[in-house]
Chains A and B, each alone.
Chain A
Amino acid sequence: MVYAISIILIGIGIYGLMTQKNLFKHLISLSIIDTAVNIFIIATGYVEGGKAPIYTKSLPNFAIGKFVDPLPQALVLTAIVIGVGTLAVGASLLVRIREKHSSIDVENMKGVEE
């Protein structure tokens, strides 16, 4: 189910990229794809009945099957930050694109060289 959701979200993101004419929506679509991939990664680490991989007083012991896979979570942490970086650069580019081409709509942009 979680897999299905993430895959459909990827599809939605791609659909958004293909149909939208506003560049900011492209950025959002890209974010959706990023997020969907992150969900997918987390899902691959899920173990039926597993808990968050943090040793606490109530969960002091190590055992296979008791915790979910921590590695995908660590990867996602990195991936999220990368997504943020992309988003920040993209957004600042959009600010300048709007200044230079007077719009961020693909069809209304002026002075885009052929």
Chain B
Amino acid sequence: MALSTLLISLLVTSVIIYFVSKASWRVGAILNFLIGIFLISYVFALHTGTTSDLGTLFGQKLQLTWTNASFYFSAVSLMVIVSVMLFAIKWLDSQKYPAAFNMFLLMMTAGSLGVFMAADLVTLYIFWEIAVLSSMLIVPMGKKESRKAAVIYAVMSASGTYMYLYGAFLAFQRYGTLNISEIAKQMVSDPSTGIKAAIFLLLASAGIAKSGIFPLHTWLRIAHGNAPDAFSAVLSGQLVKLGSYVLMVTVAVIPSLRVFANIPFYSGIPATNYFLIALGATSIIVGTLMAIKQDDMKMLIAFSSVANGGYILIGIGTMDPMGFEGGVLHVFNHALAAAVIFMAFASVVYRTHTKKISELGGLIHKMPITFLAYLFAIISLAGIPPMSGFISKWMIYQALVRKGMFITAFIAFFGSIGSFLYVFRPLAGVFLGQLPKKYKDVKEVSPVMWIPMMILVVISLIIGIWPFPVLQPIESMRADFGIAPMVKISDPDHWLIRGFAGNWNPVLVFNLFLIGFIIAYILYTMFPRSKKVDLLAPHKEEGTPINIYTGGEYIYTPELYHYNTKFYAGFERMYEKHPSWEKVLGMLAKFFHDLGEWVHGWFFRPSPSAYAFWVSLTILIVFWVRW
């Protein structure tokens, strides 16, 4: 099956899935899952270099081609999507629009695959828009706030996309082709730096908007926070990676080191890339700090996606073999971790119907498997050794230190420490601590929902121990892009990842951690357990405290004494009065609204007198200009 046939039939199938799902959404969801499985097997069977034509536009061939990069990104995406599809088979019964969800999920899958396969800028745009459109239509299926979220998502995404489109056609005008590799070749020999930089930044802006890099990051909080719960896993785990892909295309496929050889270099990196890295670093700071203070668990992880997008951008932007591989590997790690976390949250919301951390607690006793999945996922997300998340961060640090980018390296370390803080908040608030009374009947979710989470966790763990199956495709990708192809980083024969300041032996580390864990577990079983006191236990009935006092007062508002409330109050106070970028963008939106109001009020609403005035004035101006 040719690539184009595959994509088109996927789009057509998605419509069929809608009608099937109308009859029985469960059948539709199962079909979706089966198609997903098929896609994974298909993707693994494809050979690189396969191309297929999609059509022509103005004599420009629109082409799809299968490269190492397409394989890597498609495989990661499908892993996330298929697990969500499996998850959805049960989870969808809590949703209002299961049929449309199934249709758009499949459509979005087709769109994303198309983006990764695109050989030219317009094909990429087409599938990009399909993915955005279909995901944009899933977002408002959530709670009430999600409607607004969909609009903000669409606009922010479109602002990046249209800048990209402008850049694409600027490149087309200059180089007469839309093919990415052709453009890359011609850009190297093009002497005009200004236009090259403009094309570079315009193309990158689509990625910036999509992967939530700093100036266009605000939609992540709103869209990820309010989208249907399981879909947040796709949004954060997969769709954001479309942005990373575009960033990789602009930075690596168009060889930025050679294209910008004659502009100032800082730490061995051209100013354009340096600019992107600065944006990435800002995203890490903003994402981390904002994540720490969120009470809504989904928004918290949404901000963590901002920070992790920053890591990916920094890694790729260095164009250092180590950094590049680290960035690309981080795509994989973050995709899996974010997907598991959001699915875990979806399970929690599925059972408890709230996503406020302060309203939850103690779910470890009720939902142990979900807790376990979440625990492993955050270990990976925070970059703590035996999980795979550590490896990519370690590689990025290596690159930064080698390039001598100490400020960026410091920010990256800071983000890593911050991530301990923020991932711990839901852990403590949702799963540990006391169980609110109203959740005492909560049960673990069904296996259909926890199996996909556990699969992803296991994959992540295995890759943490034995990362070479993922590192090898990345290495061949790096060779494709010509980033120091002679340097070998992964060395499976010696179980090593070779960095410049020391090597990493994941198997050894895992074994050490395993031993440590076993010792800790033995100690845990040997010593007596702590005693549990229920904050609400003495209450005979809800709201009437009997024998718990504080400062001589009855506790009328136990939720304020719950340790989840103001979890990091002390830390948050340090940056309480931070400037809000969301407000700035809000002002921009308000400006356009006011402008519209003004146009309407001055030119459209008034009496015929004003019309006559405008007509006359227009004639006079035209006359004045032309006479």
| Bound pair (A, B) | yes
Instruction: Name A's B-contacting residues (CB within 8 A).
Output: 14, 17-21, 23, 26, 106, 114
A86 to chain B, nearest CB (A): 13
Give 8 nearest A-B pairs by CB, closest first. Answer: A17-B612, A106-B607, A26-B608, A18-B612, A18-B613, A18-B609, A14-B616, A14-B612
Check B608 against A17 for contact (C-beta < 8 Å). Answer: yes
20 contacts between A and B (CB under 8 A): A14-B612, A14-B616, A17-B608, A17-B609, A17-B612, A18-B609, A18-B612, A18-B613, A18-B616, A19-B609, A20-B609, A21-B607, A21-B609, A23-B607, A23-B608, A26-B608, A26-B609, A106-B607, A106-B609, A114-B605
Complex CA–CA separation, A106 to B612 (angstroms):
14
Residues of B within 8 A of A19 (CB): 609
Which chain B residues border A114 with CB–CB below 8 Å?
Answer: 605
Cα distance, A21 to B609, chains bound together (Å): 8
In the complex, the chain B residue whose C-beta lies closest to that of A33 is B612
Question: Which residues of B (457-505) have their CB < 8 Å from a CB of A?
Answer: none
Closest to B601 in A: A114
9 additional contacts (CB under 8 A) given A17-B608, A26-B609: A14-B612, A14-B616, A17-B612, A18-B609, A18-B613, A19-B609, A21-B607, A21-B609, A23-B608
Closest to B616 in A: A14
| B613-624 near A? 1/0 per residue, CB < 8 Å | 100100000000
Question: Within 8 Å CB of B613, what residues of A?
Answer: 18
Nearest A residue to B609, CB-CB: A18
Most buried by A among B608, B612, B616: B612
Quote the shortest CB–CB distance from B84 to chain A (angstroms). 46
A-B contact count (CB 8 A): 20
Report the Cα distance A26→B608, complex, angstroms: 8
A17, B615: Cα distance in complex, Å: 11
> In the complex, what residues of A have CB within 8 A of residue B608's CB?
17, 23, 26
Nearest chain A residue, comparing its CB with the CB of B612: A17
Give B617 Cβ to nearest chain A Cβ, in Å. 10
How far is the CB of A10 from the nearest CB of chain B, in Å? 10
Shortest distance in angstroms between B622's beta carbon and chain A's nearest beta carbon? 15
A23 surroundings in chain B (CB, below 8 A): 607-608
B612 surroundings in chain A (CB, below 8 A): 14, 17-18
Highest count of chain B CB atoms <10 Å: which of A17, A21, A26, A106 = A17
Cβ contacts under 8 Å, A18 to chain B: 609, 612-613, 616
A20 to B616, CA, bound (A): 16
Most chain B C-beta atoms within 10 Å of own C-beta, residue among A18, A21, A23: A18
Write the nearest CB–CB distance from B499 to chain A, whole angstroms: 67
Residue of B nearest to A20 (CB): B609
Give Cα A2–Cα B246 distance, bound, in whole angstroms. 70
Q: Closest CB of chain B to A36's CB: distance in Å?
A: 14
A100 CB to nearest B CB, Å: 16
Mark each residue of chain B from 585 to 608: 1 if its CB lies under 8 Å from any CB of chain A, else 0. 000000000000000000001011
On chain B, the residues within 8 Å of A106 by CB distance are 607, 609
Docked pose: A21 CA to B612 CA in angstroms: 13
**Chain A residues with CB under 8 A of B605:** 114
- Closest CB-CB distance, B470 to chain A, in whole Å? 60
Give chain B residues whose Cβ lies under 8 Å from the Cβ of A21.
607, 609
Q: Please name the residue on chain B nearest to A16 by beta carbon.
A: B612
Smallest CB separation, A106 vs chain B (Å): 4
B571 to chain A, nearest CB (A): 49
- Distance (Å) between the CB of B623 and the closest chain A CB? 14
> How close is B604's CB to chain A, nearest CB, in angstroms?
10
- In the bound complex, how far is the Cα of B145 from the Cα of A83, in angstroms? 55
